[in-house]
Structure 1
Amino acid sequence: MPINAVELHKVIEKADEYALVDVREARVTAEQGSILLGVPIPLSILELRVDALIPRRGTPVIVYDGGDEDLAARAAARLETLGYPDVQVLDGGLEAWAAAGYKVQTGGDHVIGQAFGEWIEEIYQTPHLSVPDYLEKIANGEDIVLLDSRPIGEFENHSLPGGTSIPGAELVYRAAEVVKSPDSLVVVNCAGRTRSILGAQLLINAGLPNRVVSLEGGTQSWVLEGHELDHGKHEVAPLPTGAALDAAQAAADRFRAKFGIKKVDKDTLRRFRDEKDERSLYVLDVRTPEEYAAGHLPGTTSAPSWDVAPWVFRYIATHHARIVLVDNDEVRATVAASWIEQFGWGEVFVLANPLDGEDLETGPVPPTALDVPSGIATTTETDGTIIDLRPSTQYRKSHLPGAVFAIRARLGADLPGTGPIVLVSEDGLLARYAARDLAALTDRPVKVLDGTPTEFETGNDTWLHEPDDVVASGWRETDPELRKAGFRRYLSWELGLVEELNADNTTPFRSFAEDRP
Structure 2
Amino acid sequence: MTTQATRSYTDIRQALLDRQELALVDVREEAPFAESHPLFAVNIPLSKLELEVLARIPRKDTPVTVYDNGEGLAQRAVQRFVELGYSDVKLLEGGLAGWGAAGGELFIDVNVPSKAFGELVEHHRGTPSLAAEEVKALLDAKADVVVLDARRFDEYQTMSIPTGISVPGAELVLRARELAPDPSTRIIVNCAGRTRSIIGTQSLVNAGLPNPISALRNGTIGWLLAGQTLDHGQARRFAQVSEQTRQSASADARQVADKARVQRASLADLQRFQAEAARTTYLFDVRTPEEFAKGHVPGARSTPGGQLVQETDHFASVRGARIVLADDDGVRANMSASWLAQLGWEVYVLDDLQPADFSASGEWDAPSPPTPQVEQISPETLAQWQAQGNVAVLDFTASANYVKQHIPGAWWTLRADLANALAKIPSAERYVLTCGSSKLARLAVAQVEALTGKPVFLLEGGTASWIKAGQPLEHGETRLASARTDRYRRPYEGTDAPREAMQAYLDWEYGLVEQLGRDGTHGFYVI
TM-score range, shorter chain: over 0.9
Give the aligned partner of residue 97 of structure 1: 99
Structure 2: distance between partners of 1:256 and 1:28: 37
Query: Contact 2:324/2:348 (CA < 8 Å) preserved in 1?
Result: yes
Structure 1 residue 475, shift from structure 2 partner? 5.7
2:206 corresponds in structure 1 to: 205
1:29 equivalent among 33, 48, 73: 33
1:408–1:434 contact (8 Å) kept in structure 2 = yes
* Cα displacement (A) at 1:298: 0.9
Q: For 2:375 and 2:365, how far apart are their aligned partners in 1?
A: 22
Counterpart CA distance in 2 for 1:138 and 1:283 is: 41
Q: Deviations over 1:381-437 (max 9, x none)?
A: 053222221111111222222222211111015251121222221110110111122
2:97 is the counterpart of 1:80: no
| CA-to-aligned-CA distance 1:492-513 (integer Å, 9 cap, x gap) | 222222222222122231222x
Matched, 1:473 2:490: yes
* Secondary structure, aligned partner of 1:146: strand
Structure 1 segment 305-320 matched on structure 2, within 5 A: 305-320=305-320
**More moved, 427-436 vs 133-142:** 133-142
Shift of 1:212: 1.0
Contact 1:474–1:485, Cα closer than 8 Å, also in 2: no
1:414-461 per-residue CA deviation (whole Å, 9 max, x = no partner) reads: 251121222221110110111122222221222222242221112352
Aligned mates of 1:319, 1:55 — CA distance in 2: 12
Q: Does 1:394 align with 2:404?
A: no
Q: Secondary structure at the match of 2:58?
A: coil
Report Cα offsets for 1:123-180 as digits up to 9, x if no partner. 2111111000112223344311111101222222221111111112200111111011
Q: Tell me if 1:65 matches 2:80.
A: no
Q: Structure 2: which amino acid aligns with 1:357?
A: A
1:488 partner letter:
Q
Contact 2:113 2:313 in 1 (8 A): no
Secondary structure of the residue that 1:421 maps to in structure 2?
strand
CA distance in 2, matches of 1:41, 1:135: 41
Confirm or deny that 1:38 pairs with 2:47.
no
Q: In structure 2, what is the Cα distance between the partners aligned to 1:460 and 1:205? A: 47
Residue 5 of structure 1 deviates from its aligned partner by 2.2
Conserved 8 A contact 1:166-1:237:
yes
What secondary structure does 2:240 align onto?
coil
Measured after TM superposition, the shift of residue 304 of structure 1 is 0.8
Q: CA deviation at 1:377?
A: 4.4
Most deviating of 222-231 and 197-206 = 222-231
How far residue 322 of structure 1 moved from its aligned partner, in angstroms, is 1.7
Range that drifts further, 498-507 or 94-103: 498-507
Instruction: Give me the whole-angstrom Cα distance separating, in 1, the residues matched to 2:259 and 2:477.
Output: 56
CA distance in 2 between partners of 1:488 and 1:125 (Å): 22
Q: How does 1:213-232 map to 2 (within 5 A)?
A: 213-232=214-233
1:24/1:129 CA distance change after superposition, 3 Å:
same
CA 1:237–1:460 in 2, change beyond 3 Å: closer, same or farther?
closer
Q: 2:167 aligned with 1:166, yes or no? A: yes
Q: Using the alignment, how far apart are the partners of 2:377 and 2:177 within structure 1? A: 54
Deviation at 1:291, TM superposition (A): 0.2
Q: In the alignment, is the contact (CA less than 8 A) between 2:40 and 2:313 conserved in 1?
A: no
Write the mapping of 1:299-378 to structure 2, written as runs, cut at 5 A.
299-344=299-344, 346-358=345-357, 360-378=359-377
Is 1:414 matched with 2:419?
A: no
Distance 1:283 1:342 in 2: 18
1:112-131, aligned counterparts within 5 Å?
112-131=113-132
CA contact (8 A) 2:48 2:440 kept: yes
Cα distance between partner residues in 2 of 1:152 and 1:15 = 35
Q: How far apart, CA to CA, are the structure 2 residues paired with 1:418 and 1:441?
A: 11
Give, as a single letter, the amino acid of the residue that structure 2 aligns with 1:153. D
Gaps of 5+ in 1: 513-517
2:446 counterpart (416, 436, 441):
436
Kept in 2: contact 1:191–1:218 (CA 8 A): yes
In 1, Cα distance between equivalents of 2:447 and 2:316? 28
User: What is the CA–CA distance in structure 1 between the aligned matches of 2:115 and 2:271, rounded to whole Å?
Assistant: 35
Letter in structure 2 aligned against 1:79: F
Over 3 Å counting, the alpha-carbon distance change for 1:437 and 1:355 in structure 2 is: farther
Distance 2:438 2:526 in 1: 45
- Partners of 2:477 and 2:81 in 1: how far apart? 37
Q: Displacement of 1:47 after TM fit?
A: 0.6
**CA distances 1:42-96 after superposition (whole Å, capped 9, x unpaired):** 1111111111111111111111111x12111111110111010111110211100
Q: Distance in 2 between matches of 1:195 and 1:324?
A: 22
Give the TM-score, by structure 2 length.
Answer: 0.92
Conserved 8 A contact 1:407-1:465: yes
Asked if structure 1 preserves the Cα contact closer than 8 Å seen for 2:148 and 2:164, the reply is yes
Q: Aligned pair in 2 of structure 1 residues 109, 421: CA closer, same or farther (>3 Å)?
A: farther
Shift of 1:306: 1.4
For structure 2, the residue ranges without an aligned partner over 5 or more in a row are none
Report the equivalent of 1:515: none
State the alpha-carbon separation in 1 of the partners of residues 16 and 252 from structure 2: 34
Contact preservation (8 Å) 1:325, 1:351: yes
Comparing 328-337 with 496-505, greater Cα deviation is found at: 496-505
Task: Report the residue type matching 2:107 in the other structure.
Answer: Q
Q: Secondary structure at the match of 1:39?
A: strand
Q: Distance in 2 between matches of 1:394 and 1:52?
A: 23
Q: Which deviates the most, 42-51 or 459-468? A: 459-468
Residue 459 of structure 2 is aligned to residue 449 of structure 1: yes
Question: 485-494 or 120-129: which moved more?
Answer: 485-494
Cα distance change, pair 101–436 in 1 and its aligned pair in 2 (3 A): same
Matched residue, 2:274 = 273
Show CA shifts across 1:277-332 (max 9, x none): 22111111111000000011111111110111121122111122221100002221
Show CA shifts across 1:453-482 (max 9, x none): 22111235222111001112346677x5x5
Deviation at 1:115, TM superposition (A): 1.5
State the 1:379 CA deviation.
5.0
Taking structure 1 as reference, are residues 427 and 80 closer, same or farther at Cα in structure 2, changes over 3 Å only? same
> Quick one: structure 1 residues 222 and 317, their matched pair in 2 at CA, closer, same or farther if it must change by over 3 Å?
same
Structure 2: distance between partners of 1:329 and 1:443: 57
Quote the sequence identity (%): 38
Q: 1:207 to 1:260 in 2, by over 3 A?
A: same
* Maintained 8 Å contact 2:396/2:412: yes
For the 8 Å contact 2:284–2:303, the answer to whether it is kept is yes
SS of aligned partner of 1:145? strand
Residue number in structure 2 paired with 1:55: 58
The answer to whether the 8 Å contact 1:47/1:370 transfers is: yes
- Seen in structure 2, the aligned counterparts of structure 1 residues 74 and 11 have a Cα distance that, compared at 3 Å, is same
Q: Secondary structure at the match of 2:61?
A: coil
Q: Is the 1:117–1:310 Cα contact (8 Å) retained in structure 2?
A: no
Counterpart amino acid of residue 53 in structure 2: V
CA contact (8 A) 1:40 1:110 kept: no
